[in-house]
Chains A and B, each alone.
Chain A
Amino acid sequence: MGRKLDPTNQVKKGPGRKSRKQKGAETELSKFITAEESEPKRRTSRARKRAVKRAHDPKKTKDLPEPTPLKGFTDENKDWLKPAKRKRKIDTPESEDDSDEMWEQEEEEEDEVEKVGTKQGKKAVAAKIAQKEEEDDEEDDMVDDYGAAEESSGEEAEGGSDEEELLPIERAAKKEKKIKEAMGIGSDDDDDSEDEEAVKRDDEDADEEDAIQTNIEEMDKFRLPGEEELAKESVIPLDLQSIHHRIKENVDVLTHFAAKREEGKGRGEYISLLRSDLCTYYSYNDFLMEKLMDIFPVSELIDFLEANEIQRPVTIRTNTLKTRRRDLAQALINRGVNLDPLGKWSKVGLVIFDSSVPIGATPEYLAGHYMLQGASSLLPVMALSPQEGECVLDMSSAPGGKTTYIAQLMRNTGTIVANDANAERLKSVVGNIHRLGVTNAVICNYDGRQFPKVMGGFDRVLLDAPCSGTGVIAKDPAVKTSKDEADILRAAHLQKELLLSAIDSVNADSATGGYLIYCTCSIMVEENEWVVDYALKKRNVKLVPAGLDFGTEGFTRFQERRFHPSLRLTRRFYPHSHNMDGFFVAKLKKFSNSVPATEMEQDEDKTETSESVAVAGSPNQKPSKNKTSKIPEKAAVSPKGQTNGAGAKKPPNIQAKGQKVQPTGPKKAKMAKMDVKNVNEGEANASESCKTEGSRFEKKHEKNRKSPMKKKNRLGKNKFNKLKKVLQKEWNGD
């Protein structure tokens, strides 16, 4: 008892240490915020002062347009800031004044000074027009927009809070009206264009007028920064606002390149500047940005990058094994969730706008009535369209979203094999499968590459391959900087291996199926079209329409690469155009169970070709010929055609378990065929097989020979002697 009352050990009451710490941070933050917010206030007070002054002496204030744009002036500057000749307005403040935003725009200053000449010419014209109207004050509105903006903002401050809440576009419209009034109704068209510019400028960012001011000087024509400017930039980096502005300008030039380019500057220079700017502004690494620039045209690229900065909407999928979408929606609405159907294309998806309860812990969620799942991951399963009673393999299933969707489409009939290489992630698969009431699933933990050996003969296979994740940057921004060429290629290599083993696990003779879906959440061509193209070359598969009526077509050509024309049947989904994660879906149909001979074998077995042509001519082979003709690549290589034929002839004895695709398949098939064919060919085959054996030996020898050759740096004795002889000859010749 006594010990418990020990004052030194007393338990502190009230909020704990951590909460207090957070409070401290909060107050700090609030200080910070108020400091920032005080800035516009100050300005408005000054504006108010100005207004008062104007009220006192209306004539004088009309001559006082210049100080307004630059906010750093104090009363001491007043006398020289009241310019007698207004036309010097840019030179004087910029060369002498050191107001607080000067340091921000050091880099641009040089441009501006250069441009003053041209500006002034323009200004003079503008001044002439203005003098016609005899309205000194409004002249600035024409010459430069920001004067008006300042003016109006000042007035708004006076007007009260409701005016301050005007949208930028409204403010712009107001200003336009004012200008029109000033100019008279019959204003000419060149100021019209300026008005447009004004509107555009106002749209950019009304709050940060300072930043806009700095950029206005270089508005007319974008020019690339010179070398010394770039050098300066490397020392003092530009602020994000001006980089953003420069990106915009640059994109504008690039989209109308012929009209807006600077003389003597190539597209490459603009592009490289744009790339470095985008890397800085969106914080990507150079490699990824370059890849993205290859994929998207410039204007689309910006959209894509912007879309990656915002989260995709939360979507859920109704578990039709346990409930209906209407009931679920009603139940969730009763819990205070705001939702809507996902789209016409999905009958089970719902979009969650906002929710008063955690959407991943409602009793409905726990009871398995729905699954939290991105809209994009519904697509591959819809493309797969599993039928009731089929045997389906999900090769990389974690966390089980697609697997449970497959089960739901099959209404818990047939069988699903859910595999994943990562045992940790399989726990979520187990949880989700049981929660959603899926009873027909086998969950196993193999490396996908071993698959046809474990079991094959599936009706359908879904391969959601591991990838670099460049389509889901919004979810995981680490991708922006963590990926490089090696990562992409490593992923692509793994994907190729997985895709081949997935194809080998499909049973082409299935009555209802024989389909395979390959999908990734990457948008890299290396991981998508390239991989599928590789599979088309390596296996007896063809692309079929995915059954998704939206999404953009896959690339059939990309830079120097040319893919099979049927690759346009694949579908790509982008965050900016479809508002879902970046995704790629390809649907393949396997038309023969046999594995075509590898290219190496083909090279060795050149002699085989003549014989195989003879075989192909026989009536037995006709179906196979038809099949091969569907894929021109395959038809071109006759040994492949032959293997296809063999596959078709094989009785469909492939069972669910233990269907082994032997690498020697074609050869065995050939032997079987030889029994039917005449003896001559059998002999030919025998001799040919001998040849292949011989060639194999040769290969071995080659290998043996090769291994010492690898040590090129070391000179062999013979070589040394030879070299010596040659050198000696040369010496003698000389």
Chain B
Amino acid sequence: MRPLTDEETKTMFEKLSKYIGENIKLLVDRPDGVYCFRLHNDRVYYMSEKILKLATNVARDKLVSVGTCFGKFTKTGKFRLHITALDFLAPYAKFKVWVKPGTEQSFLYGNHVLKSGLGRITENTNQYQGVVVYSMADVPLGFGVAAKTTQECRRMDPMSIVVFHQADVGEFIRNEDTLT
């Protein structure tokens, strides 16, 4: 376990800012203690200082997970967000998409969101903007990338994709083995 290098921090923050914008600083400066990012096994974990101290007791090969896993660095140096980060993305998300109850299940199985399943969408969403997907009952279901702007969404045919799927909470079951 080690702190992130500048390069890594930059890559990761760029990625995060696509979803939560300048709210990143709320993640780092928290009123309830010092929180930090640490890299372990190519994965980035977000934890409080207290847990960090405790985790230093554990040998590297015996440590499985600390705090919350945000995502991992691929072999090519890109950062990929995991669904486990949803707990921290959802409250700070700038752009949101709500899906209709019928589409929930389809999205949770890893499909894109079609226009027909789109319940609501934040105004002024740009194309390729990172969005968090909610159910109509305001339960966060995952996140993705807007395929079209809000304006375009209004006059599209029902079967076209409006949100590209990136991660959904169904992965807790589907990809349980690769979460860490």
- Which candidate, B4-12, B111-119, B154-162, B167-175, is the interface stretch facing chain A? B167-175
> B-facing mask of A399-442, CB < 8 A → 1, else 0?
00000000000000001010000010011111101110101111
A164-207 at interface with B (beta carbon < 8 Å):
none
The answer to whether A367 and B140 touch across the interface, beta carbons within 8 angstroms, is yes
**Which of A363, A437, A440 contacts B139 (CB under 8 A)?**
A363
Given contacts A366-B169, A454-B57, contact A437 B179 (CB under 8 A): no
Give chain B interface residues in 129-146, CB to chain A under 8 Å: 135, 137, 139-141
Query: How many residues on the A side are at the interface (Cβ–Cβ under 8 A)?
Result: 36
Contact of A331 among B50, B67, B137 (CB under 8 A): B137
Stretch at the interface among A310-318, A443-451, A599-607: A443-451
Does any Cβ of A come within 8 Å of B63's Cβ?
A: yes
Residues of A within 8 A of B169 (CB): 363, 366-368, 435
Q: Is B2 an interface residue (CB 8 A)?
A: no
Contact of B58 among A368, A428, A454, A658 (CB under 8 A): A454
In the complex, A437→B139 CA distance in Å? 13
Chain A's closest residue to B135 (CB) is A363
Interface size class of B (residues with CB under 8 A): 35 or more
**Which of the residues A360, A439, A656 comes within 8 Å of B54, measured between beta carbons?**
A656
Query: In the complex, which residues of chain A have a beta carbon less than 8 angstroms from the beta carbon of B141?
Result: 363, 366-367
Which residues in chain A, 432-491, are within 8 Å of chain B measured between CB atoms? Answer: 433-435, 437, 439-446, 454-455
Instruction: From A440, A442, A454, name the one whose CB has the most chain B CB atoms within 10 angstroms.
Output: A442
B54 touches A455 (CB 8 A): yes
Q: Which residue of A lies closest to B35 (CB)?
A: A439
Q: Indicate if B123 sits at the interface (CB-CB under 8 A).
A: no
> How far apart are the CA atoms of A444 and B176 in the complex, in Å?
17
Residue B66 CB within 8 A of the other chain: yes
* A624–B57 alpha-carbon span in the complex (Å): 32
> Does B62 sit within 8 A of A, measured CB to CB?
yes
Asked whether any CB of chain A lies closer than 8 Å to the CB of B42, the reply is no
Per-residue 0/1 for B84-106: is the Cβ within 8 Å of any A Cβ (1 yes, 0 no)?
10010000000000000000110
Contacts of B65 in A (CB 8 A): 430, 433, 441-443
Binary flags per residue of B45-62, CB closer than 8 Å to A gives 1, else 0: 011101101111111001
By the criterion CB–CB under 8 Å, are B51 and A442 in contact? yes
Residue of B nearest to A416 (CB): B51
Check A434 against B84 for contact (C-beta < 8 Å). Answer: yes
Q: Is the CB of A367 within 8 A of B87?
A: no
* Separation of A442 and B172 alpha carbons in the complex (Å): 18
CB distance from A603 to the nearest CB of B (A): 36
Cβ distance A419 to chain B, nearest Cβ, rounded Å = 9
B26 lies within 8 A of chain A by Cβ: no
B180 contacts chain A at the CB level, 8 A cutoff: yes
| A426 proximity list for chain B (CB < 8 A) | 64
Is B126 part of the contact surface with A, judged by Cβ < 8 Å? no
- CB-nearest residue of chain B relative to A428? B176
Q: Name which residue of chain A comes closest to B172, CB basis.
A: A435
Q: Which residues of A contact B57 (CB under 8 A)?
A: 454-455, 657-658
One digit per residue, 1 when the CB lies within 8 angstroms of any chain B CB and 0 when it does not, for chain A 628-659 equals 00000000000000000000000000001110
B68 within 8 A of A: yes
Contact status A427-B137, CB under 8 Å? no
B67 engages A439 (CB within 8 Å): yes
- Name A434's contact: one of B68, B104, B108, B135 (CB within 8 Å): B68
Given contacts A367-B140, A431-B179, A657-B56, contact A445 B172 (CB under 8 A): no
State how many angstroms separate the Cβ of A422 from the closest Cβ of chain B.
11
Given A364-B139, A435-B169: A427 and B179 within 8 A (CB)?
yes
Residues of A within 8 A of B56 (CB): 657
Give Cα A585 to B65, complex, Å: 29
User: Of A366, A391, A417, A441, which is within 8 A of B67 by CB?
Assistant: A441
Residues of B within 8 A of A442 (CB): 51, 54-55, 58, 63, 65-67
Chain A hits for B168, CB < 8 A: 366
Q: Does A11 contact B (CB under 8 A)?
A: no
Q: Decide if B51 touches A440 in the complex (CB within 8 Å).
A: yes
Q: Is the CB of A444 within 8 A of B64?
A: yes
A434 near B69 (CB under 8 angstroms)?
yes
* Residue contacts A-B, CB under 8 angstroms, 18 given: A360-B173, A363-B135, A363-B169, A367-B169, A368-B169, A417-B54, A423-B64, A430-B65, A431-B176, A431-B179, A434-B69, A441-B51, A441-B66, A443-B63, A443-B64, A455-B54, A455-B57, A657-B57
